[in-house]
Chains A and B, each alone.
Chain A
Amino acid sequence: MYRYDEFDAAFVEARAAEFRGQVARRLSGALTEEEFRPLRLMNGLYLQLHAYMLRVAIPYGVLNGGQMRALAEISERYDRGYGHFTTRQNIQFNWPKLRDAPDIIDDLAKVGMHAIQTSGNCIRNTTTDPFAGVAPDEIEDPRPTCELIRQWSSLHPEFTFLGRKFKIAVTGAEADRAAIRVHDIGVQLVRNAAGEPGYRLFVGGGLGRTPMIGKVIRDFLPKADLLPYLEACLRIYNLFGRRDNKYKARIKILVHEVGIEEYARLVEEEFAAMDGTAAPDAAEVARIEAYFAPPAYRERPATSALFERMKREDAGFAAWARRNVHPHRVPGYAAATISLKPIGGAPGDATAEQMRMMAEVAERWSLDELCVTHEQNIVLPHVALDDLYAVWTRLRAQGLDAANRGLVTDIIACPGLDYCALATARSIPVAQMIAERFTDQALQEKIGPLSIKISGCINACGHHHVGHIGILGLDKAGVESYQITIGGDATETAALGDRTGPGFSYEEVTGAIGALVETYLERREAGETFLQCYRRLGMDAFKERLYAAA
């Protein structure tokens, strides 16, 4: 994984010192709250319902054991002993004090971390496939591209006061596990007919109150042109994006209003006029790529007798192996998902002890690497098949062994009314109620792949539009009302979910999800997933049962 050199370290330290000064100037009144706001947001500090919230950047989700331990430490020293991993592959602390924020930032800098650009109207933390570097179907590792973008976008002098936030996601495989089509810019590594590596670029995707699927702006962009091209995309957005209404300020609205052809024309014109100074030289690219060279794997047989035996002997382990263990490009290894969705838990939450346990497991059995997923789980990317049982046993001691990756209880939920100042409804308790209804492992596996995503307001941080089942919590005259969508999809077959009809009360929502699942189980054809079944049958088949009782 990438490690800071002296320059990265100096950059982050300078930023930490600057932030300390800004907090002091806010407290002295030199900065008004209005002026301080974008500055603190640029450092990940939000004012929430009950307290400040600090969002720490985990660049493209990747961290090592030492960094995970530091997060555990911070959660204990400055917070309430837990943290919340987010759909942006970051972590949030929900209870820090303003006066502690500079110290937290300093503590982060000591382990090569920061909170730069985790919020505010700037280029946010770049996200990617949690199986980056190990997925067998990958064309190329997307992380060097992410790191290039991370550096280029850090405190960009031109793009730090944009009209609205700006999110970039990168994938190295055709199968899209990074939801690139619902980002402001999506970057896909591809090869052209001549076999040369390059990028396919999408623009104007996004969720929020006006969800849109991104459109292709370039089918093939040579690798060396990426940063200049991004600069052109951002400049056109910065100059022409709307500033009159914050709900119409995202790039998706600009692309929608002027049309993808016109936006592309402006970008191409800008790009053609650039002198190429924005592109990093080959030596810099090679320097970054070297950090992502495959680690020192041991040579191992492709199968493991121990792994096979333990699956036969321990049904719990077998279930975990079926659901949470993923293929790896190196023989004898696997990637494993640590589910942060135990039944009854808050999706994405981890206590300090759990973080330490994950750090220990990673150090011991995953070449000191972890990756936060946009599904709010943690991936151990390099576990030997021989070690999987030991890993699982260890994780079980901290309740981190839920065998539900991708299943109905692997629910994504935003913080909602329990924490978020913008929320119109609760989301965590809804996730908990639904998970309780589907506790039975056999039932979960019978249902198969099903992603439920819950947002506590129209801002859609829980990505409900692209959940196979999406739940949006609204406020109807002081009462929570949950609107359900089905058929959403964040992958290469991206689609926005369709609304089923009138919303459901807090008490009704679990039953409604039950009705949808029952309909699917009754009507599915052999091997058909929920999403495929919905696409075949259409809305009416599901609606009937859903509203029958009402």
Chain B
Amino acid sequence: MPLRDDTGPIPDDWTRVEPGAPLARRSLLALEDAEARGEALEGVAPEALGLAIPNDTERARLAPWLSRVSLIAVAFPAFNDGRGFSLARALRAKGYAGRLRAAGPVIADQYAYLRECGFDEVEIPEALAARQPEAQWAAAAKRVGLAYQQGYDGRRNILAARAEARER
């Protein structure tokens, strides 16, 4: 399914590996599968390992994986199910430094929020990509503007801009 980040459409070099199936060069595993494989994953480099998780995954369950994987794909069952925003934010707060992917029917209008909460890329269904072509995502990615919240990625925040203006 189409994948994009701030640079535009990008190839997906990850393979969603079925439970128990042989690993690929870079394997995206469901959390249960990764847990079930246990020691078999011990020698696998983080660059080759990713986790696909539902948006109601308990954060404690993810803790042991944060330094062992280089991709976490958070499922968005629907664009208006916003749990993934908080989950991403929480993973970043816990120090997760790998890539974060929003996987599901998120819309271009949410792109800035996704980035601010710590996502790097979005993977959307074909039909949605056809309806909201690349130009709309590019426009959303370019939309500059300041946000009021502090401690979120991406857009500069208004409070920092005000502080700078005070010093001028």
| B93 proximity list for chain A (CB < 8 A) | 273-275
Instruction: Name the interface size band of chain A.
Output: 35 or more
B36 contacts partner chain A, Cβ-Cβ < 8 Å: no
From 138 to 159 in chain B, residues with beta carbon under 8 angstroms from any chain A beta carbon are 139, 143, 145-152, 158-159
Q: Give the complex CA separation of A32 and B87 in angstroms.
A: 27
| B117 proximity list for chain A (CB < 8 A) | 157-158
Q: Is A11 a contact partner of B158 (Cβ separation < 8 A)? A: yes
Q: Give the complex CA separation of A527 and B85 in angstroms.
A: 54
User: DSSP class of A's interface residues: helix, strand, loop or mixed?
Assistant: loop
Instruction: Name the interface size band of chain B.
Output: 35 or more
Q: Is B145 a contact partner of A156 (Cβ separation < 8 A)? A: no
A330 contacts partner chain B, Cβ-Cβ < 8 Å: no
B81 contacts partner chain A, Cβ-Cβ < 8 Å: yes
Q: Is B83 a contact partner of A243 (Cβ separation < 8 A)? A: yes
Known: A157-B113, A157-B117. A7 touches B149 (CB 8 A): no
Q: Is A7 a contact partner of B152 (Cβ separation < 8 A)? A: no
| A280 proximity list for chain B (CB < 8 A) | 150, 159
**1/0 per position for A205-231, CB-CB distance to B under 8 A?**
000000000000000000000000000
Q: Is B162 a contact partner of A287 (Cβ separation < 8 A)? A: yes
Q: Give the complex CA separation of A235 and B146 in angstroms.
A: 22
| A162 proximity list for chain B (CB < 8 A) | 82
Q: Give the complex CA separation of A35 and B80 in angstroms.
A: 8
**1/0 per position for A153-180, CB-CB distance to B under 8 A?**
0111111111100000000000000000
A378 to chain B, nearest CB (A): 28
| B116 proximity list for chain A (CB < 8 A) | 157-158
**Given B109, B151, B159, which contacts A39 in the complex, CB threshold below 8 Å?**
B109
Known: A38-B80, A157-B112, A161-B82. A11 touches B145 (CB 8 A): yes
A523 to chain B, nearest CB (A): 52
| B112 proximity list for chain A (CB < 8 A) | 157
Most B C-beta atoms less than 10 A away, residue of A29, A35, A239, A284: A239
A30 contacts partner chain B, Cβ-Cβ < 8 Å: yes
Nearest A-chain residue to B131, judged by Cβ: A30
Nearest A-chain residue to B115, judged by Cβ: A157
Q: Give the complex CA separation of A235 and B152 in angstroms.
A: 14
A86 to chain B, nearest CB (A): 24
Q: Is A235 a contact partner of B136 (Cβ separation < 8 A)? A: no
**1/0 per position for A387-405, CB-CB distance to B under 8 A?**
0000000000000000000
Q: Give the complex CA separation of A235 and B112 in angstroms.
A: 19
Given A161-B79, A161-B85, 16 more A-B residue pairs with CB atoms under 8 Å apart are A11-B145, A11-B146, A11-B158, A21-B139, A25-B136, A30-B131, A35-B107, A152-B148, A156-B148, A157-B112, A158-B86, A158-B152, A278-B150, A278-B151, A283-B166, A287-B162
Nearest 3 A-B pairs (CB), nearest first?
A161-B82, A277-B151, A157-B116
B positions within 8 Å CB-CB of A: 56, 79-83, 85-87, 89-90, 93, 107, 109-110, 112-114, 116-117, 131-132, 136, 139, 143, 145-152, 158-159, 161-163, 166
Listed by A's residue number, 27 A-B pairs whose Cβ atoms lie within 8 Å are A7-B158, A7-B162, A10-B145, A22-B109, A25-B136, A31-B109, A31-B132, A121-B80, A152-B149, A154-B148, A155-B147, A155-B148, A157-B113, A157-B114, A158-B86, A158-B116, A158-B117, A160-B113, A161-B79, A161-B80, A162-B82, A243-B83, A277-B150, A280-B150, A281-B159, A283-B166, A284-B163
